[in-house]
Amino acid sequence: MAQSSPRRPAAARPVGAVTRGTTNPNRLRRMDRWIAAVHGPALRRSADPVAVDLGYGAAPWTAVELLQRLRTAAPAAEVVGIEIEPARVAAAKPYERPGLTFRHGGFEVPLEGRGPSLIRAANVLRQYDEEQVAAVWERLCARLAPDGLLVEGTCDEIGRRHVWVALGPGGPRTVTFATRLGSLRQPSDLAERLPKALIHRNVPGEPVHAFLRDFDRAWAAAAPYASLGARQRWIAAVRSLSADWPLADDVRRWRQGEITVNWAALAPLPGTRT
């Protein structure tokens, strides 16, 4: 009786769910420039400076742009775009070139033993429940290189308003709010772009709500600076805010329409649900 050939083990299914896939050129420029400025030194030090664009969507533009921007800070950087939808990977393949590849996968981050220096997950967790976020963060942080960075956040369709959390292998570190200043009515306009871990916590009694309330007050008090331009008003408001909130950046980033706050100051209160 002929022996049957051994079966190959079935390939593991990627972890996660298919996103809407919405993407536009230049949508993630604020996040990319922040990453290049803040994480560039770590990428330059890395012996394997590979970055992951996780869930890049229906078109590969964000991965292409991430490579261009990272290489201004770390010329040896590589980018791997990872998508859970096979058709999106196939559509991106023609855009591959040295330093830029595309793979099928999800939160398991299939890099065959390489620990990425950066994982960027933009507009990926918006569709998940708040209760799922911590487990996804933990899984992604476990894939990072020892000095790696996970950047997870949300932005509007054309990248005018963006909020993201930066995490290391040990967990969340900072929250960054970034905006096109000319489009801003008041800082709390950014609340609609809070990442999933915070968006349902923008209610009285939660730290992120108190922060945005104080930011609006500082913005109103800085109204006299409006005659000098929105940038000067933003800088004045952020400088005032720094007296009461632990900021992790300085005027060099504020000038870009950014403010970065230590995560511990904005973290959801334990034991509370909204």
Residue 23 lies in a domain: no
Q: Are the CB atoms for 106 and 99 separated by under 8 Å?
A: no
* Percent of the chain scoring above 90 in pLDDT: 87
In this structure, the dihedral spanned by the alpha carbons of residues 110, 112, 113 and 115, taken in order and rounded to 10 degrees, is: -40
pLDDT bin (cut points 50, 70, 90) of residue 6 is very low
Q: What pairing do the DSSP bridges indicate for beta strands 258-262 and 161-168?
A: unpaired
**Average pLDDT value for residue range 89-100:** 97
Residue 64 neighbours by CB distance under 10 Å = 19
Is 130 a residue whose pLDDT tops 70?
A: yes
Which residues form the domain of 229? 29-265
Is 4 a residue whose pLDDT tops 60?
A: no
Residue 257 lies in a domain: yes
Look at residue 121 in the predicted model and tell me its pLDDT.
97
Look at residue 11 in the predicted model and tell me its pLDDT.
55
* Percent of the chain scoring above 70 in pLDDT: 94
**Average pLDDT value for residue range 15-20:** 79
Reported as a single tens digit per residue, the pLDDT across 147-182 is: 999 999 999 999 999 999 999 999 999 999 999 999
Look at residue 10 in the predicted model and tell me its pLDDT.
44
Q: What pairing do the DSSP bridges indicate for beta strands 100-104 and 118-122?
A: unpaired
Is 8 a residue whose pLDDT tops 60?
A: no
Domain count, the chain: 1
Residue 16 lies in a domain: no
Look at residue 273 in the predicted model and tell me its pLDDT.
56
Residue 270 lies in a domain: no
pTM over 0.85: yes
Look at residue 222 in the predicted model and tell me its pLDDT.
98
Look at residue 272 in the predicted model and tell me its pLDDT.
60
Look at residue 23 in the predicted model and tell me its pLDDT.
81
Residue 114 lies in a domain: yes
Q: Which among 71, 122, 73 is positioned nearest to 99, based on CA atoms?
A: 71
- Average pLDDT in the chain: 93
**Average pLDDT value for residue range 52-76:** 96
Residue 235 lies in a domain: yes
CATH number of the domain encompassing residue 84: 3.40.50.150
Residue 158 lies in a domain: yes
**Average pLDDT value for residue range 223-244:** 97
Reported as a single tens digit per residue, the pLDDT across 193-207 is: 999 999 999 999 999
Residue 18 lies in a domain: no
Q: Are the CB atoms for 245 and 261 separated by under 8 Å?
A: yes
